[in-house]
Chain A
Amino acid sequence: MSHVLAVLEQRDGAIRKVSHEVVTGARRLADALAGGAGVEALVLAAGPVRGADQLGGFGADKVITLTNAAFGLYAPEGYARAIADRVKAGGYGAVVFAASATGKDLAPRVAARLGRPLVQDVTDVSVQSGAVIAIRPVYAGKALLRVRVAGHPAVLSLRPNVFTPVQRPKAGSQETAAVDASRGRVVVTRIKAAPAGSLDVAEAPIIVSGGRGLKEPANFRVLEELAAAFGGRAAVGASRAVVDAGWRPHADQVGQTGKTVSPTLYVAVGISGAIQHLAGMRTSKVIVAINKDKDAPIFKVADYGIVGDLFEVVPKLTEEIRKLHG
């Protein structure tokens, strides 16, 4: 019987929310593997991690915290070595990461150390005849690639916002062990924090995105106010046109040369819907488009559209959302 290892993330000593999704995905995989495989959740940190005791409720049978003074901030080489050593010793059927900034950096290092292929940014997993089958978007979501992983362990990273955390009335066991490790040659010296409360578009459950229709950079304030009305659950995104024009930071760009996102709600404001933009956001659960051009391609993928002047529509929407959130 081979267990599934879920590799979790902490920041400032607290479990990151995306890790709940990783445990959920690992649980789904473990249940599909033959022989009642268990889920072991692994987190590396400088000391005890807040929220580790709640992971049993998302499907972890055991939560292992590996502590080392060098593990407070992400230590690429130290983390990769510790995880690869654990996997080699453990005989796992699968190793699952988040396809986050850290996960997408760490997973290739671990996979290479294991001599195993890596399937990044997975949106669905299943098991057929003992082999892991994964689906992942390619060409920025214009197509879906279905691959079979030969042999074990399968090494996967899961796209944020796709594996909705499922709560189970079960507590996992806890284990903490200090490990010998060095940080390695690559040292994260600090994190320059983004303004308090700002969410990354790759992980936000709600995205309010703006394009050329905003007319000038200062007008993005209208979208920031709408995002704020959602009470800390929304991020502001941008089309390539406005990022290339220098109106918004690259980190906010949604599309084929930006981020591919899958939020619960995507509100496209003043975005016509170039093919490379649509590719990056088409897997959103619900899409709302606000545009003055009724023939804009964005309306072809939107669930709900409003044709009109965004400078009238968006403030009204902000007002309505504020009412809901009282």
Chain B
Amino acid sequence: MKIAVCIKRVPDSETRVKIAADGKSLDEAGVKFILNPYDEFAVEEGLRLKEKAGTGEVVVIALGPPAAQETIRTALAMGVDRGVLLQTPGLHPDGLETAKALAGELKDAAFDLVLFGKMAIDDYNHQVGPMVAELLDLPCVTTVAHLEIAGGKGTAEREIEGGVEVVEFPLPAVLTTDKGLNEPRYPALKGIMAAKKKPLDIKPTAPGPGALEILSLTLPPERQAGKIVGEGSAAVTELVRLLREEAKVL
């Protein structure tokens, strides 16, 4: 099994967002960056599929700044064989440009599977995986929460509103992974040491500017702290009255 996993370096989910002086981007001062949590499921699944097949290779590919090398090393420490950094000074908001850059790297490599997290927890774009699939003309299933692969075919389950879709597809394919697919492993010390010696190719890349222009990044309006209606079950009648008469939601 030859598997590619596309990963992204993102701010930790506990980050308090501050807006940079340009009014259009995140102030990265003091921000801790991590491997996108949804990509961890993709890395883990790639490793498990390779282990099950008993042979093959898992490669991670990241599009990002030089610091994304650390993110790649995290995946290498989990057990991935090698990494590729498509190094770019900054990422554009247009996911199609990201998809084009990744598709360019993937197109001639004959992977059996290309895995993505279902979305990145920074830009919430939720689109690069299926776009890459379209650009490479590969079958694609998104937000996979259960997966079985056998005999060149796969069956995936994906959550939809009020149910679960059961989806069949042939390999090679592009899949995006959802929480619940697996429990990602933590890198062991041995893995962390080994990761330092694993190959990491750095390829300067310049995605196109795309057709989306950022006008502003702003903090959402602060919610006015409301009122404490009261204490204990005695306050419930008043709460219901307020919800009906003041908030008008009941």
Contacts and interface: CB of A to CB of B under 8 A. Distances in A.
Tell whether A and B belong to one assembly.
Answer: yes
Which range holds the interface residue count of chain B? Answer: 35 or more
A18 B162 CA distance: 13
Binding site secondary structure of chain A: mixed
A312 B169 CA distance: 50
Contact of A307 (B13, B165, B219, B228): B228
16 contacts: A16-B161, A73-B165, A104-B143, A139-B11, A145-B214, A146-B215, A149-B212, A186-B169, A190-B166, A192-B164, A193-B163, A199-B162, A200-B162, A299-B225, A303-B247, A312-B232
A134 B28 CA distance: 24
Contact of B13 (A257, A282, A283): A257
A170 B74 CA distance: 58
Interface string B154-189: 000111111111111110000000111000000000
B152 to A, nearest CB: 12
Contacts of B148: none
Contact of B17 (A77, A143, A300, A308): A143
Given A139-B122, A265-B243, A302-B226, A320 B236 contact: yes
A120 B125 contact: yes
Nearest to A315: B233
Interface stretch (B91-99, B104-112, B192-200): B91-99
A248 to B, nearest CB: 11
Contact of A317 (B94, B160, B236): B236
Interface string B196-217: 0000000000000011111111
A221 interface: no
A191 B165 contact: yes
A146 B218 contact: yes
A185 B171 CA distance: 10
A294 B229 CA distance: 12
Contacts, number: 276
Contact of B235 (A133, A300, A308): A308
Nearest to A102: B160
Given A112-B96, A250-B178, A257-B121, A306 B160 contact: no
A302 B247 CA distance: 12
B250 interface: yes
Contact of A300 (B139, B158, B225, B242): B225
Contact of A142 (B134, B214, B216, B220): B220
A280 to B, nearest CB: 10
Contact of B215 (A102, A147, A256, A302): A147
A209 interface: no
A144 interface: yes
Nearest to B164: A192
B69 interface: no
A93 to B, nearest CB: 14
B217 A306 contact: no
A19 to B, nearest CB: 12
B14 A275 contact: yes
B139 A304 contact: no
Which range holds the interface residue count of chain A? Answer: 35 or more
Given A139-B121, A300-B225, 11 more contacts: A76-B141, A104-B127, A108-B130, A109-B131, A113-B134, A137-B220, A143-B217, A251-B180, A287-B226, A303-B247, A316-B233
Interface of A: 16, 18, 73-74, 76-77, 80, 100-102, 104-105, 107-109, 111-113, 115-121, 133, 136-151, 184-194, 198-200, 202-203, 243, 249-251, 253, 256-258, 260, 264-265, 274-276, 282-283, 285-288, 294, 299-309, 312-313, 315-317, 320-321, 324
A203 B161 contact: yes
A147 B214 contact: yes
B141 A186 contact: yes
B149 to A, nearest CB: 14
Contacts of B215: 133, 146-148
A139 B140 contact: no
A120 B235 CA distance: 41
A256 B121 contact: yes
